């Protein structure tokens, strides 16, 4: 019935890190304000602050424009409901603290 239906998302490449934040690819809205609370671009990489339920696992995707490669990082939300994903040089990592430092 809806065979011609298509959904497209675009993501800008951050200038300092040469990285695009693609978000949660399995969602209708991969980068939502209900999840993503900050994005910081630097020469050291792209950092993304996220919120959610404590111990929730969230997979975030990034695109490295220099390597022409997409990758993902699996984050576990901390006890305070926050985590920070960082993507640099083609690799991602995730960290959380016991208290919220994103606001």
Mind listing the pLDDT tens digit for each residue in 64-95? 999 999 999 999 999 999 999 999 988 889 99
Instruction: Tell me how far apart the alpha carbons of residues 65 and 18 are, in angstroms, rounded to a whole number.
Output: 5
Given this model, what pLDDT does residue 103 score? Answer: 47
How many other CB atoms are there within 10 angstroms of residue 90's CB atom?
12
Closest alpha carbon to 37 in 92, 93, 88, 83: 83
Instruction: Tell me how far apart the alpha carbons of residues 54 and 77 are, in angstroms, rounded to a whole number.
Output: 5
Please state the pTM of the whole predicted model: 0.86
Mind listing the pLDDT tens digit for each residue in 30-64? 999 999 999 999 999 999 999 999 999 999 999 99
List CB contacts of 32: < 8 A, sequence separation 6 or more: 23
- How far the first Cα of the chain sits from its last, in Å, is 45
- Contact between residue 47 and residue 72 where contact means Cβ atoms under 8 Å apart: no
Given this model, what pLDDT does residue 99 score? Answer: 55
């Amino acid at each position: 019935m809806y065979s011609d239906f298509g959904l497209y998302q675009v993501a800008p490449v951050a200038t300092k890190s040469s990285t695009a934040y693609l978000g949660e690819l399995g969602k209708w809205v991969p980068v939502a304000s209900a999840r993503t609370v900050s994005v910081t671009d630097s020469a050291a990489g792209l950092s993304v602050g996220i919120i959610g339920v404590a111990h929730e696992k969230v997979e975030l995707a990034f695109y490295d424009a220099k390597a022409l490669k997409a990758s993902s990082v699996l984050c576990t939300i901390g006890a305070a409901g926050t985590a920070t994903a960082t993507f640099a040089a083609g690799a991602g990592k995730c960290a959380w603290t016991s208290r919220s430092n994103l606001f």
